[in-house]
Chains A and B, each alone.
Chain A
Amino acid sequence: MNEDEVRRLLDKAASGPVDVDRVDPDAIVRLGRRDVARRRQIGIAAAGAAAAVLALGAAVGIPLTIGGNGETAERGGAAPQDLPTVPADDDFLNEWSRADHGNCPEPGGQTDEQERTADAYNQVLFEALKELGGEPLGRCLETRPDYDGVYYSEEQGAYILDESFAFGDGSTSDWAWVRGGSWEAGGVNYESQMEEKECPPNPNVECSWEDVPEGRVLLIEGSRTDFVDADTEAEGAAEFPVVAAFLFREDVVVTLDLSLRFESDRQAPSIDQVVDIIRALPAGEEAPEVEVRAWDDVAADLAAAAEREIPGIEVDTDTAEFVRLAPEVATYGGPVYGTDATRMVFVLAELESGETVRLFLQAEPVEDAGGDPTVGAASFAQCSDVDCETAADGPGDASVHRTITEGRPSSTSLEYRVGDGWVIGVGVEAVDGSEAPPVDFATLDAILGGIR
Chain B
Amino acid sequence: MTPESEREFRVYVEANRAALLRMAFLTCGDWHHAEDAVQTALVKLFGAWDRTRRETVDAYTRRIVANVLVDQTRRTWFRRERSYAFPPDQREAASPGDDQAEAAAILARLPLKQRATIVLRFWEDQSVEQTARILRCSTGTVKSNTARGLKTLREHYETLNPAGSK
Contacts and interface: CB of A to CB of B under 8 A. Distances in A.
A25 B133 contact: no
Given A294-B141, A317-B137, A66 B59 contact: yes
Contacts of A290: 111
Q: Secondary structure of the B side of the interface?
A: helix
B96 A15 contact: yes
Contacts of B56: 64-67
Contacts, number: 202
A413 B56 CA distance: 35
A59 B78 contact: no
Interface string A18-35: 111011010111011101
Contacts of A294: 137, 141
A361 B121 CA distance: 30
Residues of B in contact with A, size category: 35 or more
A76 B111 CA distance: 26
A23 B137 contact: no
A14 B22 contact: yes
A19 B150 CA distance: 29
A22 to B, nearest CB: 5
A29 B10 contact: yes
A315 B148 CA distance: 28
Contacts of A207: none
Nearest first, the 7 closest Cβ-Cβ pairs linking A and B are A32-B46, A16-B95, A60-B47, A62-B48, A12-B103, A291-B111, A13-B103
Interface of B: 1, 6, 9-10, 13-14, 17-18, 20-22, 25-26, 31, 35, 38-39, 42-48, 50-53, 55-56, 59-60, 63, 67, 70-71, 74-75, 77-78, 80, 82, 84, 86, 91-92, 95-96, 99-100, 102-104, 106-114, 118-119, 122-123, 129-130, 132-138, 141, 148, 150, 152-154, 157-158, 166
27 contacts: A1-B150, A5-B157, A10-B123, A12-B100, A13-B107, A14-B25, A15-B95, A22-B35, A23-B39, A32-B42, A35-B43, A65-B56, A66-B56, A66-B134, A124-B77, A127-B74, A127-B77, A128-B78, A276-B80, A280-B77, A282-B82, A285-B86, A288-B111, A289-B109, A289-B111, A300-B136, A317-B136
Interface of A: 1, 3, 5-10, 12-20, 22-23, 25, 27-29, 31-33, 35-36, 39, 59-67, 72, 75, 124, 127-128, 131, 276-277, 279-280, 282, 285-286, 288-291, 294, 296-297, 299-300, 303-304, 317-318
